[in-house]
Amino acid sequence: MGYTFMVPAKIISGENVIAELGKHIEGKGKKALIVTDSFMVKFGNVAKVEDALKKAGLPYVIFDGANSEPTDKIVEAGLGVYQQEGCDFIIALGGGSPMDTAKAIGFMSTVPVGTKISAFMHKNIDMEVPYLVAIPTTAGTGSEVTKNTIISDTENNVKMLLGGPSIIPALAVVDPTFTMTAPPKVTAATGIDALCHAIEAYTSRKAQPLTDTFALSAIAKIHQNLPLCYADGKNVKARFAMSLAALEAGIAFNNASVTIVHGMSRPIGALFHIAHGVSNAILLPACMEFAIEENTERFADIARIMGVAEENTPAKAAAEAFVKEVARFCQAVGIPTLAELGVEKEDFFAQLDKMAADALESGSPQNTMRVPSKDELIEIYKKLF
């Protein structure tokens, strides 16, 4: 059996590499839509992109409505600007939300007016799309290299996971200077998101030798550098390591899929409006406790990478040490509990059935070596209180 491995056509990385954007997008389009959020404008990150475009003599228009949790409505608004302004390529700047929004605007710009984005659920999105540049400003989502976008269906309260080769950005720009503005809370949540991508990719049923390389490299970098970035956001060396780790983890899960944590996390995000990285982190220890049982060797590898098990530690003991370590690690970077976030136990328990059903519907939990039943997912959700 062979493997397929997909990455963007080009990745540029390094401190201030954004200044060179012009030469990399020469001939790719005549007018850009910059998809971002209002904070990126405020923090001066958009100005850096504007400077690069002005230097290259490329006109652009800014859509800054891609705030947290991209929805079908936000995509429609951005698409309206893209079409009215006569844009022909897209530059996404921000965390996962602007990137996911930009990806959706891209493929929705090619379909007949009136087509609902929900029509693309469970479809392989594989059409000609506008050239897409992705510039992450957090080290986490890996969205700059992935073939997926998550858009909320506002009618049905479901986070739709949409995907296909057309969605992979053509150019990923990994410039750690953009991540310097992320406050500790965001740094922690997005960094744990990247850690989940790498752990889930390495332990997925769809793992392959190439994804293993990227996943393990990402885990080592995140374990070492996330606490440094959390403690001191201005540590450029640690920030760059985290940006590369997020990219590596993105490449890993883009080709090996995510598993139980992401599967269970999306319903919490959709119903309780908790940031993606935070809900992943809240789920991580309980999900790993469940998952190690039928995959001890792989989890033992991760424990060794994290330095919490020796080469000769038996796999079962090493895997258990890994579970303890992820719980400690999440706490060390200040991840709150659901109760601390103001979620009422009663409200949460009232949604157990829907959350478990929606998690299974996404298909992600089934990539775990120990495939969970609906009842088992409910038991894991209950452990969060």
Binding site for Fe ion (CB under 5 A): 193
User: Rounded distance, CA 259 to CA 204, Å?
Assistant: 6
**Long-range contacts formed by 116-122: CB under 8 A, 24+ apart:** 116/72, 117/72, 117/75, 117/151, 117/153, 117/160, 117/162, 118/72, 118/153, 118/155, 118/156, 118/160, 120/160, 120/162, 121/160, 121/161, 121/162
Min dist CB 197 to Fe ion, Å, is: 6
Min dist CB 272 to Fe ion, Å, is: 16
Helix (H, G, I), strand (E, B) or coil at 37: strand
Torsion of CA 149, 153, 157, 158, to 10 degrees: -40
User: Rounded distance, CA 43 to CA 376, Å?
Assistant: 44
Residue 69 or 320 having the CB closest to Fe ion: 69
Residue 67 or 109 having the CB closest to Fe ion: 67
Helix (H, G, I), strand (E, B) or coil at 90: strand
Min dist CB 246 to Fe ion, Å, is: 10
Residue 193 or 301 having the CB closest to Fe ion: 193
Residue 130 or 250 having the CB closest to Fe ion: 250
Residue 176 or 277 having the CB closest to Fe ion: 277
Q: Count the alpha carbons within 13 Å of 227 in the hemisphere toward its beta carbon.
A: 10
Residue 193 or 325 having the CB closest to Fe ion: 193
- Structural Rg of the chain based on CA atoms: 20
User: Rounded distance, CA 252 to CA 133, Å?
Assistant: 20
Q: Which residue is nearest to Fe ion (CB)?
A: 193
Residue 193 or 320 having the CB closest to Fe ion: 193
In whole angstroms, how far apart are CA 191 and each of 27, 135, 275, 295, 349? 35, 16, 12, 24, 28
Closest CA to 174 of 150, 197, 140: 140
Query: Hey, what are 4's tokens?
Result: 């397929």
End-to-end alpha carbon distance in the chain: 43
Min dist CB 23 to Fe ion, Å, is: 31
Min dist CB 316 to Fe ion, Å, is: 28
Min dist CB 274 to Fe ion, Å, is: 13
User: Rounded distance, CA 50 to CA 58, Å?
Assistant: 9
Q: Which single residue is written with the structure tokens 């469940």?
A: 290
Residue 217 or 257 having the CB closest to Fe ion: 257
Min dist CB 141 to Fe ion, Å, is: 6
Min dist CB 275 to Fe ion, Å, is: 11
Residue 71 or 259 having the CB closest to Fe ion: 259
Min dist CB 109 to Fe ion, Å, is: 25
User: Rounded distance, CA 359 to CA 128, Å?
Assistant: 31
